[in-house]
Structure 1
């Protein structure tokens, strides 16, 4: 990073949105510091595989150097099959023609984003690529819980009460539990717990041979505990590699998936056993996904969503703003969340670079444009989740704190 007399831009959280924003700054030689609560990049699991939309890919390509973009593109999987195919978990019936999804074409939800393919990447792989060159500027084990403005900048405030050095601005990208988002918006930014729960699982590629190449949603609407489904992406280029594991993501309506003592940080056999129990009556075509799963990799997750009417308006603070899930949490329906987050990173990075660093008006311009596409994305994500899992947000829906 080139030497400069400017104060650094402070970034809270070292997730995808934060790291991609940092890549913008790094390429423009604008100083930055990232504060992450975890002790290292491998402190916890990286979650499920991400589907990248055309907008998401465009945003990432606009930020990365040509060399880094080529490395990123080569890492992604390119899956054919013409779109998402819906199957009945019990009968193996193709339900695609019965879908009412507005994105569906010819009975299949179109997932193509480039080259006529569905483009995907593991969250952990994506994070590692975005880390490139940023590692020296990350302070691990630093949980940001708020900020303090000064006459000429801003300090990040940490959980132990200490403060960062003064920065030109603070960008909060630490996810749905962001304290900065709550402070900045004076509580207007809310994340709701929809009650639905899920499980991530992995199995060797051999378990997916019966499915074949494609993106598959397998749905069990007759389970006595409530509707449960999984989605999985079977990539052809890795099908015969015994060292590779494919993943699946399970989701159930509220009340179907329950972690012991309501502790959804549990991973391993406990989660695996619940997934196996819920799928005990599934068609033989799908059974290997659970019979052969790597039990230690199974993990619970919660389905959350921001206010479904869209990103609220708060009084702009020129030196502080929010990106990614801190600004707009979404359900996994449609795979919209990560794509919207990288759009935030690209947009804010572009505005900061055009201004040569922090400048009055940058965060206001970013928030005005972000609210348009992010509000549309939240509404779409919530609408699809409501149809799939029967989730609703009302005055009784609990808020994630």
Structure 2
């Protein structure tokens, strides 16, 4: 009989983990503090590493069915606000990418959960000593393993004494999805200006997911507000003179559907993702800026790594201890590298001094396509952990 596992948080990583563990015969209960799970949001891009991880837990084809080829087959890279290309990514850098609306991704993952295993409107608290006991609105629950996937503002991380705090990335971000299909002329990717960026990603149904950033003073961390007409007007004004179809993307988005939030990541990498029989996963463990497009992908990698390690290290004794130790080692090493790289890309993208921008743009124009392909391959390479030697 499989283990009893509690998952705190019904985000992407938590759902992938829960579905993967249930597929392997474990008894999993997911607690989500909100009344719903993943019914809103904008779009995202998943790369080859995420699909390798999804395939490892039997979910790859489900997600492919609701996602599109994203940037693959389009001319993609970085442009100036005038529309002039700074870099064009080689086809191999985007061949594995697929775009999906967050709500569609959540829907397909929720459909893979066993009936009755998700509890919404259920705030829970982990045990500070790392024991696999949850405090729930209905009393205490005992499990063999607790996995906390409760996001950037993870209460679990703080209760476990592992928190290093968060820090502002120095910019704010807007996100939106057009109301209907929009022709992007076979071109996508990002446009980099002075302290501002705009990204375009086609979705499977022809709609366009877009995001925009602007450098802002440091501000206290705050939840993303609901969409508003004021935010629609603000982003429309900032990017009104940028190349087509940037203004058209904003115009084609409902005024109330433009979301804005200040970007934060963890102040420092955590000393551990594991305490006792409680594990941190996804943003709770390694929240990073969105500049590599790897937030969701790394949560999926976390989930698949843990599922595979538990598969090859069965039981609740020494095998579980070994699996958690290896998860901690492998995932901290990889995510720390990507978090640093992501923050650096964001800082370069948000440069605003004219001289610094000129140097940045010159370097981008001079970067060989082969170097861009190698950089993408390093980020997008993931294989399941090999079974431990016995």
Please indicate, yes or no, whether the TM-score normalized by the shorter chain is above 0.5.
yes
- Corresponding position of 2:367: none
1:24 deviates by: 1.7
CA distance in structure 2 between the aligned counterparts of 1:345 and 1:315, rounded to whole angstroms: 13
User: Could you tell me which of 118, 130, 136 is aligned with 2:116?
Assistant: 136
| 1:205-236 CA distance string (max 9 Å, x none) | 55x32x32243212332xxxxx222111135x
Distance apart, 1:108 and its partner CA? 2.8
Q: Deviations over 1:236-264 (max 9, x none)?
A: x644xxxxx322011111149x99xx774
Question: Who is 2:15 aligned against?
Answer: 19
Give the number of the structure whose residues are more often helix, by fraction: 2
2:31 maps to 1:35:
yes
8 Å Cα contact 1:324-1:341 kept in structure 2: yes
2:212 to 217, 242, 250: 250
Shift of 1:92: 2.4
For 2:246 and 2:178, how far apart are their aligned partners in 1? 12
Partner residue of 1:196 out of 160, 171, 174 = 171
1:59 aligns with 2:53: yes
Mean Cα deviation higher: 69-78 or 335-344: 69-78
Where does residue 85 of structure 1 map in the other structure? 77
Which residue matches 2:308? 350
Cα distance in 1 for partners of 2:159, 2:291 equals 28
Consecutive unaligned residues in structure 2, runs of 5 or more: 353-390
Give 1:387 deviation, angstroms: 0.9
TM superposition outliers: structure 1 runs of 4+ over 4 Å: none
1:199 positional shift: 0.9
Q: Is the contact between residue 44 and residue 100 of structure 2 (CA under 8 Å) also seen in structure 1? A: yes
- What do you get for the CA RMSD once the two structures are aligned? 2.8
CA distance in structure 2 between the partners assigned to 1:231 and 1:324 by the alignment: 24
Matched position secondary structure for 2:85: coil
How far is 1:7 from its partner? 5.9
Q: Is the 8 A contact 1:83 1:112 kept in 2?
A: no
Residue 233 (structure 2) aligned to one of 265, 269, 273:
273
- Tell me the secondary structure at the aligned position of residue 126 of structure 2: strand
Contact 2:197 2:350 in 1 (8 A): no
Counterpart position of 2:379: none
Secondary structure of 2:100 counterpart:
strand
The within-5 A match list for 1:244-323 is 245-255=207-217, 264-283=224-243, 285-307=245-267, 311-314=269-272, 316-323=274-281
Comparing 30-39 and 193-202, the one that deviates more: 193-202
CA, structure 1 residues 140+213, in 2 after alignment: closer, same or farther (shift >3 Å)?
A: same
Q: Is the 8 A contact 1:20 1:342 kept in 2?
A: yes
Match of 1:233 in 2: 201
3-state SS, counterpart of residue 55 of structure 1: helix
- Name the SS for the 1:29 alignment partner: coil
Contact conserved, 2:273 with 2:332, CA < 8 A, in 1?
A: no
SS in 2 for 1:10: strand
Q: Closer, same or farther in 2 for the Cα pair 1:357/1:121, shift >3 Å?
A: farther
- Give, in whole Å, the separation in 1 of the partners of 2:246 and 2:29: 46
**Equivalent residue for 1:154?**
132
Matched position secondary structure for 1:362: helix
State the shift of 1:322 in Å. 0.4
- C-alpha contact 1:318 1:361 (8 A) present in aligned 2: no
Determine which of 185, 208, 224 is the counterpart of 1:212.
185
- For structure 1, list consecutive stretches of 5 or more residues without a partner in the other structure: 97-106, 222-226, 240-244, 392-401
**Corresponding residue for residue 170 of structure 1:** 146
